[in-house]
Each structure stands twice: as structure tokens, then as C-alpha cells.
Amino acid sequence: MLRQTLTPMQHVTTTKAPVSVTTSIQLIWLMLAVNALLMAVDYDEASSDAIVFNTLLLVFNGFVAIKIASGKNWARLAYSVLVAVDVALILALGMEAASDFEAVVTYLSVALEGWTLIKLFGAEAEPWFKQTRND
């Protein structure tokens, strides 16, 4: 690990995030964009409460993605909780009322979320998150 000392209390590291983390972040942003588009398509049918809740959820997910990209372990854990809640809601509410397109997008999204979690908690990412925690 390369460090350039700025002051006795600060340092800069030049270690970049591993490919698995970078790819995961890109996938999270892609899923957020798809969810935003789905919200826009269903805008006329959604209640104002649902629109506000989903918008806040998208913003929070974006915040978590930014923090994951900066190496924050708590954000990685928060993302895993968000994915678990998403899967639990899908299982609890079912997909009977959804169109075929919405069902396919939902199942694809869950698969991508699972793959993203595997990459974020994988052997390549773990040392980077530990290193950024110690910096």
C-alpha cells in the first residue's frame, strides 16, 4: 500500500477498488436507473405516497452505492439488508398482479442483486474493505 503523508493525522492511499467492487457499483447504478424508469412508467397508477417512498428509497440506495464505492463496510452491510428486504417483500406480496414484463424485470433484478452481494462479499473485495476501514 502506497501512502503519501500529508500531516501526522492524514494520509492518502492510492489503492483502487477491485474490479468486483467496481462492477458491483455499476450494477447497483444500473438497477437504480431501471427502477427509476419503472417508476416513471407506473407514475399514473401509483399513489403519491408510493411515489414519495420509492423516490426516497432510490435516493438512499444511491447514497449507499456512493459509500460502498468509497469502501465503507457499513454501506455494504446496509445494501445486503436492503436486498434481503426486497426479496422478502417479493416473496410475501407475490407477483400475481404484475405484468409479465414487470415479473421478468423483478426476477432479473433479484438475480443481479444476489450476484452483486456475492461480489461485494467475495474474496477479492474483502481485503479492500478491510484496508479502507483501517485508513
pLDDT at 122: 93
Label residue 97 by pLDDT band (50, 70, 90): low
pLDDT at 105: 82
pLDDT at 16: 87
pLDDT of residue 57 exceeding 80, the answer is yes
Residue keyed to cell 427502477? 35
pLDDT at 70: 93
pLDDT at 49: 82
Q: Are 113 and 86 in contact (CB under 8 A)?
A: yes
> Between 85 and 47, whose confidence is greater?
85
Domain extents in the chain: 18-134
Distances (CA, A) of 99 to 19, 61, 94, 104, 121: 35, 25, 12, 9, 33
Q: Which of 44-58, 84-98, 113-127 has the highest mean pLDDT?
A: 113-127
SS3 content of the chain, % helix, strand, coil (to 5): 70, 5, 20
Per the prediction, the chain carries an average pLDDT of 83
pLDDT of residue 9 exceeding 70, the answer is no
